[in-house]
Chain A
Amino acid sequence: GQNIDQPTEMTATEGAIVQINCTYQTSGFNGLFWYQQHAGEAPTFLSYNVLDGLEEKGRFSSFLSRSKGYSYLLLKELQMKDSASYLCAAGSGAGSYQLTFGKGTKLSVIP
């Protein structure tokens, strides 16, 4: 079966660092994605991890531990525009690359 868990909501202060955790149980796992979704808009791609370790892209970093079924998204130097939902998604299925999504973490950045 497929199961993705992430916190429902988080609040952080502008300029701070926030870490959004995600645990997954996915058969045929072949990669972990993070998406950002602003209210009323479609999700947009943020990051992808297939090997263990940290991937850094500017203010955003994503970490994966395959043995622990665990990932996190790290957002540094938070800005007000980072207020959004962040979706964790586990990929599975050779060739087809089907994603199973978590319910999303709504991040509110406050002044």
Chain B
Amino acid sequence: DVKVTQSSRYLVKRTGEKVFLECVQDMDHENMFWYRQDPGLGLRLIYFSYDVKMKEKGDIPEGYSVSREKKERFSLILESASTNQTSMYLCASSGYGYTFGSGTRLTVV
């Protein structure tokens, strides 16, 4: 069964901390995506990657960066976490449509 795995289901971090959200897929997909999902706003694209070491900004990249050193792994980095980054973060990889990870609910206090 194909999988997208996010390293943490729930995470609590303090304001100003550097936060790493990890995502691994086992489908040999080239395309990977990071979204955040907030009530009333839906899924908003933060960053995506079409290949190793490639990255593209999505609709809301401010305050985030990404890393794609290996094809199967796409990491989202919050350089200095802020309370407005409290959200559900979803990773996806795409071949035929998207396969999503289980999500990470991040709370910044």
A residues touching B (Cβ–Cβ < 8 Å)?
Answer: 33, 35, 40-45, 48, 87, 89, 91, 96-99, 101-104
Of the candidate stretches B41-49, B60-68, B73-81, the one touching chain A is B41-49
Q: How far is the CA of A98 from the CA of B58 in the complex (A)?
A: 11
* Across-interface contacts of B102 in A (CB, < 8 A): 41-42
B residues touching A (Cβ–Cβ < 8 Å)?
Answer: 31, 33, 40-43, 48, 50, 90, 94-103, 105
Question: Contacts A41-B103, A42-B90, A42-B103 hold; do A99 and B42 have CB atoms under 8 A apart?
Answer: no
Interchain CB contact under 8 A, A103 and B42: yes
Interchain CB contact under 8 A, B96 and A48: yes
Q: How far is the CA of A3 from the CA of B90 in the complex (A)?
A: 21
Question: Contacts A87-B43, A103-B41, A104-B42 hold; do A97 and B100 have CB atoms under 8 A apart?
Answer: no
**B94 (CB) vs chain A CBs: closest residue:** A97
Q: How far is the CA of A33 from the CA of B96 in the complex (A)?
A: 10
> What would 8 A/B residue contacts be, using CB atoms closer than 8 Å?
A33-B98, A41-B103, A42-B100, A43-B90, A43-B100, A45-B97, A89-B98, A103-B42
**B101 (CB) vs chain A CBs: closest residue:** A42
- Residue of A33, A96, A102 near B97 (CB, 8 A) is A33
Q: How far is the CA of A91 from the CA of B105 in the complex (A)?
A: 26
Interchain CB contact under 8 A, B31 and A96: yes
Pick from A42, A44, A48 the residue with the most CB of B within 10 Å: A42
Interchain CB contact under 8 A, B97 and A99: yes
Q: How far is the CA of A87 from the CA of B103 in the complex (A)?
A: 16
* Across-interface contacts of A101 in B (CB, < 8 A): 42-43
Known: A33-B98, A43-B98, A97-B31. 19 other contacts (CB 8 A): A33-B97, A35-B98, A41-B102, A41-B103, A42-B101, A42-B102, A43-B100, A45-B97, A45-B99, A48-B97, A87-B42, A87-B43, A91-B97, A97-B94, A97-B95, A98-B31, A98-B48, A102-B42, A103-B42
Please give me the 4 A-B residue pairs with the lowest Cβ-Cβ distance, nearest first: A103-B42, A42-B100, A101-B43, A42-B103
Q: How far is the CA of A42 from the CA of B48 in the complex (A)?
A: 18
